[in-house]
């Protein structure tokens, strides 16, 4: 018992402040892609040819990228002969609409907060039911990380619950397989109104690498109304947390939470 206590004291305070002034991201981290139309060669589609999910196009010398399909692999930036595509360190990626995830060189429109009435209901206490609709467990793992001492999601009043009847909304991952579509619909129906829906990861948003397969429904867009889109494959825990707090109106000039 004493050894455990000494070890814990030596570890110190482990919870990250949020939002972080200087987030500790790995050297290999790839955040928001940056498009420079001025460097794009007309007629060159090298980036589009190597994209595994058809997320990028370079029509008429103007690249456009669908973050909802993007797997954040580096193939497009490696293939581009002029460096028109690069990856930044920006982890803030969540948006309020599917259309906001389609970029043509403009700044990303980050998620807006819920309407005032809904924000008053959920702003300080939000219970979510997580549904894996056929996911590979990568997004699910990063969602689970939010409950650890490092991120401590509970300090923001956000918790995951075991039953949709105890939830204020759903957080969905995976491309929505045939086997999970009815289960997802029933879970949504069992969640009391008013409720919100959050799509986490490329699969939940667009089907990801499984898009077009006869075994999936290409995400939840056509199944449920979505309030928050969090792109990535998988999205970083900071990306998910940032999106959740923006949705609740908790990041509008708010200081870091220790």
The topology under which CATH files domain 33-87 is Alpha-Beta Plaits (3.30.70)
Q: Angle at Cα 123 formed by Cα 132 and Cα 224, nearest 5°?
A: 35
Number of residues assigned to the chain: 258
DSSP-derived letter for residue 108 is P
Q: What pTM value is reported for the model?
A: 0.92
What are the pLDDT digits (tens) for 134-172? 999 999 999 999 999 999 999 999 999 999 999 999 999
Compute how many other C-beta atoms are within 10 angstroms of the C-beta atom of residue 123: 18
pLDDT tens-digit readout, 175-225 = 999 999 999 999 999 999 999 999 999 999 999 999 999 999 999 988 899
Average pLDDT value for residue range 234-243: 97
pLDDT at 130 over 50: yes
Tell me the domain boundaries of the chain.
33-87, 116-247
What average pLDDT does the segment 95-116 reach? 92
Q: Is the domain defined by 116-247 classed in CATH 3.30.2130.30? A: no
Separation of alpha carbons 217 and 161, rounded Å: 26
């Amino acid at each position: 018992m004493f050894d455990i206590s000494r070890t814990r004291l030596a570890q110190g305070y482990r919870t990250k402040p949020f939002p972080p002034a200087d987030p500790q991201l790995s050297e290999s981290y790839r955040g928001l892609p940056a498009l420079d139309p001025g460097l794009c060669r007309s007629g060159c589609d090298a980036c589009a040819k190597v994209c595994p999910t058809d997320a990028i196009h370079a029509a008429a010398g103007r690249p456009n990228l669908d973050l909802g399909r993007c797997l954040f692999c580096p193939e497009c930036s490696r293939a581009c002969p002029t460096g028109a595509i690069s990856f930044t360190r920006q982890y803030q990626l969540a948006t309020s609409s599917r259309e906001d995830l389609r970029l043509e060189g403009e700044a990303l429109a980050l998620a807006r907060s819920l309407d005032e009435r809904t924000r008053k209901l959920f702003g300080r206490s939000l219970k979510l039911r997580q549904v894996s609709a056929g996911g590979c467990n990568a997004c699910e793992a990063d969602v689970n990380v939010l409950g650890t001492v490092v991120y401590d999601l509970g300090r923001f009043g956000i918790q995951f619950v075991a039953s949709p009847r105890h939830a204020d909304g759903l957080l969905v991952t995976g491309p929505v397989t045939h086997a999970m579509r009815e289960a997802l619909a029933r879970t949504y129906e069992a969640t009391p109104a008013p409720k919100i829906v959050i799509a986490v990861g490329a699969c939940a948003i667009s089907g990801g690498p499984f898009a077009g397969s006869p075994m999936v429904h290409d995400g939840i867009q056509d199944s449920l109304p979505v309030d928050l889109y969090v792109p990535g494959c998988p999205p970083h825990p900071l990306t998910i947390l940032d999106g959740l707090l923006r949705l609740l109106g908790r990041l509008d000039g708010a200081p870091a939470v220790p």
